[in-house]
Structures are given as C-alpha cells and as structure tokens.
Amino acid sequence: MYREAHLNVIHSVSLTFDEFPESLGRVAIYFISDIHRRTISKNMLSSLKGKVDLVIIGGDLTEKGVPFSRVEENIRVLRELGPTYFVWGNNDYEVDYHELDSLLLSNGVKILDNTAVSFESAKGEKLSLLGVDDYGTKRSRLDLALMDSEPNSFKILVSHNPDIIHEVKEDHQIQLIISGHTHGGQIRLGKWGMHSKGGLKSTKNIKIFVSNGYGTTFIPLRMGASAETHLLMISNKNS
C-alpha cells in the first residue's frame, strides 16, 4: 500500500475528437493533480523534456503543514517542461493562499481562477483552456470562465473537482473536462471505494478524464488506485 502511494508513473492517454481543430495537430498536455505532501520525481519527468506543449496542475498542489520550499521546488520542476497552468483545489486553501498565489505567479505559472486562455493555429482555428476555482468550496464560477473563452473554439475545462459536470450544459460546447480530487478512492476493496476509480468517462456528450492523483491525503497509503500522472495527447480523429 505504501509502494502504490509512492509510484512515479506517467500514463499516456490518446483523446480524439471530431471537433478538434486539425490545424492544431496533436496537443500534448502533462496533467498532475493532488500532489499534497509529495516531492515530484525529477527522474519521472526527464522522459518528457521536449514532448509537452502545456503543463496543468489540477489542484491540491499542497496542504496544511507542507513547507513552501517544497511547493516551490515542485513548481520549478514542472515549469521546466513548458508553460504551466494551475487551478485551485480544496486543500490549497488550508495554507496561506495569498502566499501560494504569489509563489505561483513569481514562478511564471498562470492561475486559471474562473478564467480562460486561448491558443490559435496559423489557420485561425482556436483552442480555449478554461479553469475554475474549487467547486467543492463554492468558489467556482463557470459562467465567468465561459465568458473569458473564445466562442467558436474547442473548449477544455479544468476543474479540481469533477462534480463541476453538474453545472455544464450542452450549449456550453465544452468537449473535455480534466479533473482530480477523488484519488480514485485511494483505498479500494475490489470494486468498492469512497469514489470511483480514475479514468475516462462520457456524459452529456462530454468526455471527462479524472486522475487518481499523485499524492495522498490523511494517510500515505493506497490500494487499488495507484498514484499516477498523465500525458494527455489530444487530436482530431482524422489526424
């Protein structure tokens, strides 16, 4: 159980969509969530150098009692991979979040707190990356993130808590949601766990990808829901 909780694993996941702009080619996103108390392995990330377009920290970068020196080192090793984006998780608010905010900004991390960033290909096709503040602490404002996004773009929504799906409507035209938070149940007995195991699901014609996360909470143990991070490769189905 201790070993499962301290694995350094990157799972490659291919996600294809009819609507994804072909002129953007394949976009590679390194996604890591729920770091909590762990120190990110530099050896784990070494294989990704030069292969990542975007890095997304999916919340719970830290929690109460974690020294900010460790948090900053984790941020720095992630920033070496490429442009880095962050959404707030519930445990991030256990620390001095003003200091965490400052630490992220001073290290060049873009905070997606109910906002969006857009990317455009040479042909004018667009990708919008939306991020909402923590849904579980009632700080999320999906409406503001949608207003900040490009209306005719392929939309990816990042939310620490996957329950944001309850606010998403088909006319929002969000094609993919990326989340963490659940730890995949962290300790599972066969098919039983406090939360569903991570992975890819679909609802409301939207794909939802949920990671089991990299760290743990309460106890540093896992069973049946191993620690994981992901390289998400997103492209058009016809590419």
Using alpha carbons, list the distances in angstroms from residue 217 to 6, 89, 229: 12, 13, 16
* Series of mean pLDDT values for 10-residue runs along the chain (239 residues): 95 96 97 98 95 98 97 98 98 97 97 98 96 97 97 96 96 97 88 83 93 94 93 93
Q: Helix or strand or coil: residue 187?
A: strand
Residues of the domain holding 108 = 2-236
CATH number assigned to the domain comprising residue 230: 3.60.21.10
Tokens 């939802």 sit at which residue?
Answer: 208
Question: What's residue 169's pLDDT?
Answer: 93
- Rounded to the nearest 10 degrees, the angle between the axes of helix 97-106 and helix 68-79 is 30
Count CA within 13 A, CB hemisphere, residue 135.
21
The total domain count for the chain is 1
